[in-house]
Chains A and B, each alone.
Chain A
Amino acid sequence: MLRRLVHCALCWTLSMAGVAGLYILAGAEFLGLAQLIVYVGAVAILIVFAILLTQRRELLSIERLTAGSWVTGVAVAGLVAGCLWIGLAYTRGLGGAGGASGGPALETRELGELLMGRYVVAFEVAGLVLTVALIGAVILALPFEQPREASGRRADRPAAGEGWDARRQGGQGA
């Protein structure tokens, strides 16, 4: 078991790269490289940044698990994985010729035509979601600013999260 969160994150990155490798092995080169760019290039960096920004020094290592959560968690996960495994074991007809690693590869052009043609709505929606997520993430991660005298425009806007804080305290008081 890895004790350090950063190691976890890096190993996670490695496993994402491994998944990308599996994609490429399956002939989906474009997908694999996209996975690499997104997960290794962006999400992994986000995660390590989040780790660096949120973990106090003593928390950089992971807490020990309580027995209860350990048992329930692993049990449920094992159950689900086991069910999947069993289902997989009883499935026939997946090892055919199409499954050979030498099969036809994914044509990037075809994928692009699908994205820009029949599924253009899905593509646009994905773009919209990304944009909204970008803006949302920026707004969420903006540092809370106390009202300053210097900038009048900022002062009349309630700082992000202020209302939430107040409500929380009110809830505790009640």
Chain B
Amino acid sequence: MMSWIREWLWLIPLAPLAAAGLLALTPRAGRRRAAWLGIGSLSVATVLSWAAFFGAWPGAGGAGREVNFTWLTFGRTPLELGWVLDPLTGAMLAMVSTVALLIFVYSLGDMRADPNFTRFFCFLSFFAGSMLGLVMANSLLWLFMCWELVGLASYLLIGFWFEKPAAAAAAKKAFLVTRIGDLGLLLGLIYLYTETGTLLCYDEGRGCLEAAALAGLVERVSVGGITVATAISLLIFCGAIGKSGQVPLHVWLPDAMEGPTPVSALIHAATMVAAGVFLVARVYPLMDADVAGEPGLSAALQGVAWVGAVTAVMAAAIAAAQFDLKRILAYSTVSQLGYMMMALGVGGYAVGMFHLIAHAFFKALLFLGAGSAIHGCHHERDIRRMGGLRRWMPVTFAAHAVGMMALAGVPLFFCGFWSKDGILHAAWGWPVSRLPFLLGLAGVGLTAFYMMRQMAMVYGGEYRGGQLKKEIHESPAVMRVPMVILAVAVVLLSVVGTPAWPWLEEFLEGREAAVRAGDLFEHETLWIMGASALVMGAGLVAGWRLYGRRPQRRADAPDPLRMAQPAVFSLLEQRLRFDEVYEATVVRSAAWAAEAWDWLEREVWQGLMQWAGYGALAAGWLSRLSDEYLVNPAFDGGCEGVRGCGRGMSGWHGGRLRIYLRVVAAGMAAMAVWLTWG
């Protein structure tokens, strides 16, 4: 029934990309056209994405999920690209396009006053189109191309207000830091290509993620005694670390908050950071190839799990000591991405993806809420200068609260609870170590704490922002409606991921789901649910006691936590000094290397080049001499000869047509006579 969508899947990324192309040609004044083009094309993509989602339904598609074609042929080697429509792609497509569409609509309101509205929609469409292309890729090469396009789009969007130095620097930082990871990814892809000879994931048994290729990868041994599969997996994971902001390459993500809020929402929810997790999920068979059977035991996945766990708890801790509303959410994203990575690493593939999708919705919601609050407070982003907003912005408050509860993992009604619970459950079952589970549990408490802190400081208490109090206003409907839709989606999404009816997990694994209410009341499940709820509650209570019960009166009042633990707090406020360490090591050494090269350039190469130049001058002089005294006279003589010949020949021409005709006829006659008798 829906198999046509498999052939036409390319339309999904094409629609936003085409819109981006058209928008690039649209003059600045064409705001209405920009909005229509951007939202219209993405609506088309959304409709098609949902069609693809249903097309990926278990048992819906026919044989062959992938469509491959030859892109270029080098000699006799065809380079093939292709796309695939499996449950993972289907779910990701539906999620990305839906969330992006809501964010597009939201940006209508948020960016209304911006003079570069058209450019913004151009980049936004470009961003969404690239991500949709990334998600459907069947070829890792295609994936890498879209990956880089996403990187480029994020660079353009983070630096959208490039006149602000901070934004320009943040864009540059995001671009450079993710490039470091991408280098690993590129190396991994090259390694993979040299080993398997293909970059197609699925190609009817010949793809690099299919059993035949994986078996070969596992057998061979690479540097340092690890298998080739592990080496490639770790290299590819480098890309995911960069893109998904894992430790130690997470530093770009909080800075990326300098972009417009819809961009932050898009980066954090649907597109950019999800790409890393998606990459790991896409190459999961490769990651998992090392130890067959039991998932989560291979060396690569162990690395993934540890990185994820450390990131989860560390970022949550940093988030607890930040004052920038969006930056808190940024660290929260880093932390949640850590959860996803941890889930993938400990073998909870489906749970990790469920958390990715759930997180996309509630983080988009949180960002939109934050953006709405910032919008209402005249672009004030410091939570110390907010407060009491629930009175003026009830809808934003409600939506934000739903998002906050989902993120914190308030039991039963919010998808965040179920997905996080699933992750903890998977971590508990990891045979290698229980430490990730404990770290995750600690992260739950921290998450609840900093979200409570944020809510209390932004929406509770009194307004601390000063004069502008009267002008605080609720956002327009075009911003409110997407938030409400997202809030409803966040609640509804919790239905499909409960242990009683793990529909999404079964969908991702290509099975029909069945209701198994008994699973909900298993001893282990209940135990973990109870534990996480308890820790979460403790975090909430701690947050409320510190910030909610006695709200601060003035913007410059010291933070209660700082008073309690000044050393820890200031360390966290300075983000564990990652930037400073990098500044002292990486940036400093790079600057030193640059100086060294500069010296080499000036002193050594320049001299060499100068001498080469003299040599060229001498050669030119010689060449000119030979031209003037050798070639030119010869050529002139030749020309003169030809001209003389022509002059002689033209004497033959009387210029009378009839005579020509007669000559032709005479020739013809002669020829006829010769042919007849000759």
On whether the beta carbons of B669 and A79 are closer than 8 Å, the reply is yes
- Shortest CB–CB separation between residue B86 and chain A, in angstroms? 43
- B672 partner residues in chain A, CB cutoff 8 A: 79-80, 83-84, 87
On whether the beta carbons of A87 and B668 are closer than 8 Å, the reply is no
- B514 partner residues in chain A, CB cutoff 8 A: none
A172 contacts B by Cβ under 8 Å: no
- Shortest CB–CB separation between residue B673 and chain A, in angstroms? 6
Rounded to whole angstroms, the CA-CA distance of A73 and B666 in the bound complex is 10
- B665 partner residues in chain A, CB cutoff 8 A: 76-77, 80
On whether the beta carbons of A83 and B675 are closer than 8 Å, the reply is yes
Rounded to whole angstroms, the CA-CA distance of A98 and B23 in the bound complex is 67
A97 contacts B by Cβ under 8 Å: no
A54 contacts B by Cβ under 8 Å: no
A72 contacts B by Cβ under 8 Å: yes
8 Å CB contact of A83 from B662, B666, B676: B676
| B366-416 with Cβ < 8 A to chain A | none
Q: How large is the interface on A (under 10, 10 to 19, 20 to 34, 35 or more residues)?
A: under 10
- Shortest CB–CB separation between residue B309 and chain A, in angstroms? 67
A142 contacts B by Cβ under 8 Å: no
* A to B contact number (C-beta, < 8 Å): 23
- Shortest CB–CB separation between residue A66 and chain B, in angstroms? 12
A67 contacts B by Cβ under 8 Å: no
8 Å CB contact of A86 from B662, B669, B676: B676
* Nearest A residue to B675, CB-CB: A87
- Shortest CB–CB separation between residue A158 and chain B, in angstroms? 23
On whether the beta carbons of B676 and A76 are closer than 8 Å, the reply is no
Rounded to whole angstroms, the CA-CA distance of A72 and B663 in the bound complex is 12
Rounded to whole angstroms, the CA-CA distance of A72 and B676 in the bound complex is 21
- B673 partner residues in chain A, CB cutoff 8 A: 79, 83
On whether the beta carbons of A87 and B662 are closer than 8 Å, the reply is no
- Shortest CB–CB separation between residue B674 and chain A, in angstroms? 9
Best-surrounded residue of A72, A77, A79, A84 (most CB of chain B within 10 A)? A79
Bitwise, A77-103 to B at CB < 8 A (1) or not (0) is 101100110110000000000000000
- Shortest CB–CB separation between residue A77 and chain B, in angstroms? 7
Rounded to whole angstroms, the CA-CA distance of A79 and B666 in the bound complex is 10
- A86 partner residues in chain B, CB cutoff 8 A: 676
- B669 partner residues in chain A, CB cutoff 8 A: 76, 79-80, 83
Best-surrounded residue of A72, A77, A80, A86 (most CB of chain B within 10 A)? A80
- Shortest CB–CB separation between residue A124 and chain B, in angstroms? 28
- Shortest CB–CB separation between residue B669 and chain A, in angstroms? 5
- Shortest CB–CB separation between residue B587 and chain A, in angstroms? 62
Bitwise, B639-678 to A at CB < 8 A (1) or not (0) is 0000000000000000000000010011011001101100
Rounded to whole angstroms, the CA-CA distance of A95 and B441 in the bound complex is 104
Rounded to whole angstroms, the CA-CA distance of A79 and B672 in the bound complex is 8
- B676 partner residues in chain A, CB cutoff 8 A: 83, 86-87
| A24-60 with Cβ < 8 A to chain B | none
* Nearest B residue to A85, CB-CB: B676
| B212-232 with Cβ < 8 A to chain A | none
Given known A86-B676, A87-B675, contact A80–B668 (CB-CB < 8 A): yes
* Nearest A residue to B661, CB-CB: A73
* Nearest B residue to A76, CB-CB: B665
Rounded to whole angstroms, the CA-CA distance of A86 and B675 in the bound complex is 11
- B675 partner residues in chain A, CB cutoff 8 A: 83, 87
* Nearest A residue to B674, CB-CB: A83
- Shortest CB–CB separation between residue A87 and chain B, in angstroms? 5
Rounded to whole angstroms, the CA-CA distance of A84 and B676 in the bound complex is 8
* Nearest A residue to B668, CB-CB: A80
- A79 partner residues in chain B, CB cutoff 8 A: 669, 672-673
On whether the beta carbons of A72 and B662 are closer than 8 Å, the reply is yes
Rounded to whole angstroms, the CA-CA distance of A97 and B542 in the bound complex is 110
- A72 partner residues in chain B, CB cutoff 8 A: 662
Rounded to whole angstroms, the CA-CA distance of A83 and B638 in the bound complex is 44
- A80 partner residues in chain B, CB cutoff 8 A: 665, 668-669, 672
- Shortest CB–CB separation between residue B654 and chain A, in angstroms? 14
Rounded to whole angstroms, the CA-CA distance of A77 and B673 in the bound complex is 12
Rounded to whole angstroms, the CA-CA distance of A144 and B432 in the bound complex is 97
Rounded to whole angstroms, the CA-CA distance of A163 and B318 in the bound complex is 88
- Shortest CB–CB separation between residue A75 and chain B, in angstroms? 9
Bitwise, A124-159 to B at CB < 8 A (1) or not (0) is 000000000000000000000000000000000000
Rounded to whole angstroms, the CA-CA distance of A37 and B676 in the bound complex is 36
Rounded to whole angstroms, the CA-CA distance of A84 and B673 in the bound complex is 9
Rounded to whole angstroms, the CA-CA distance of A84 and B666 in the bound complex is 15
Rounded to whole angstroms, the CA-CA distance of A80 and B665 in the bound complex is 8
Rounded to whole angstroms, the CA-CA distance of A168 and B662 in the bound complex is 25
- A77 partner residues in chain B, CB cutoff 8 A: 665
Rounded to whole angstroms, the CA-CA distance of A79 and B676 in the bound complex is 11
| B222-244 with Cβ < 8 A to chain A | none
- A87 partner residues in chain B, CB cutoff 8 A: 672, 675-676
- Shortest CB–CB separation between residue A3 and chain B, in angstroms? 22
Rounded to whole angstroms, the CA-CA distance of A77 and B664 in the bound complex is 12
Rounded to whole angstroms, the CA-CA distance of A87 and B675 in the bound complex is 8
Rounded to whole angstroms, the CA-CA distance of A80 and B673 in the bound complex is 8
- B668 partner residues in chain A, CB cutoff 8 A: 80
Rounded to whole angstroms, the CA-CA distance of A86 and B674 in the bound complex is 12
Rounded to whole angstroms, the CA-CA distance of A76 and B662 in the bound complex is 9
- Shortest CB–CB separation between residue A135 and chain B, in angstroms? 24
Rounded to whole angstroms, the CA-CA distance of A87 and B677 in the bound complex is 9
* Nearest B residue to A77, CB-CB: B665
- A83 partner residues in chain B, CB cutoff 8 A: 669, 672-673, 675-676
- B666 partner residues in chain A, CB cutoff 8 A: 76
Rounded to whole angstroms, the CA-CA distance of A83 and B678 in the bound complex is 12
Rounded to whole angstroms, the CA-CA distance of A76 and B671 in the bound complex is 12
- Shortest CB–CB separation between residue B657 and chain A, in angstroms? 14
Rounded to whole angstroms, the CA-CA distance of A171 and B662 in the bound complex is 26
Rounded to whole angstroms, the CA-CA distance of A118 and B165 in the bound complex is 64
- A76 partner residues in chain B, CB cutoff 8 A: 662, 665-666, 669
Chain A residues near B (Cβ < 8 Å): 72, 76-77, 79-80, 83-84, 86-87
Which 3 residue pairs of A and B lie closest in terms of their CB atoms, listed nearest first?
Answer: A83-B672, A83-B676, A76-B665
- Supply 9 further A-B pairs (C-beta < 8 A) apart from A76-B669, A83-B669: A72-B662, A76-B665, A76-B666, A79-B672, A80-B668, A80-B672, A83-B672, A87-B672, A87-B676
Q: Can you list 22 A-B pairs, Cβ within 8 angstroms, ordered by A?
A: A72-B662, A76-B662, A76-B665, A76-B666, A76-B669, A77-B665, A79-B669, A79-B672, A79-B673, A80-B665, A80-B668, A80-B669, A80-B672, A83-B669, A83-B672, A83-B673, A83-B675, A83-B676, A84-B672, A86-B676, A87-B672, A87-B675
Chain B residues near A (Cβ < 8 Å): 662, 665-666, 668-669, 672-673, 675-676
